[in-house]
Structure 1
Amino acid sequence: MAGPNVPTRTIAVNVTFFADLRRHLPRGADGPQRYELREDATITDLLAAIGIPADTDLTAALDGELAKRESPLHDGAEVMLLSPMEGGA
């Protein structure tokens, strides 16, 4: 017996891509991008929705703080995706 159709709640997050990760921007897009996800989504879910492979080396920030891939997102979250830096003295 099927249960009632329960609408899935969603959240909207804004994502800013930096350096090499800008290649994941939609064609012709520039600046922060908005993504709609399930309300229980994590950064891992966001990366999958964008199409970034799970083994990609990157740093994520959530609302200005470093975040782990399992960090939960919330409606209105500001996410920054950065490529690791190389080089130095």
Structure 2
Amino acid sequence: MRLSRDKVNKLAHVIADTLADTDQAEFLEDRNTLRQEARRILEQLFVEETRIDGAARQKILSQQRIIPEGSQEWDILYRKYYNDEVKRLGV
């Protein structure tokens, strides 16, 4: 899934605000530093997700026969290959 820069910023703000408002932890950094780190982590996760998606799609394309995207077989293979990639990376 690809999110716009504004949506990633909004998510980072929500994460930073939630962390800053929690009574269960005390942070040495200010809220803006928390937001920037949350945004950096989110961007890394989205890049990794895109790579995993591409690897799963490539495995489906490498099959001997053509499997149409959107078919039940394609969906099953996609989930299998996607999960295999996630496990392989230890995510």
Shared fold per TM-score greater than 0.5: no
TM-score norm. by structure 1 comes to: 0.20
Q: Which has the higher contact order (CA 8 A, sep 6+)?
A: 1
Higher strand share: 1
Higher helix share: 2
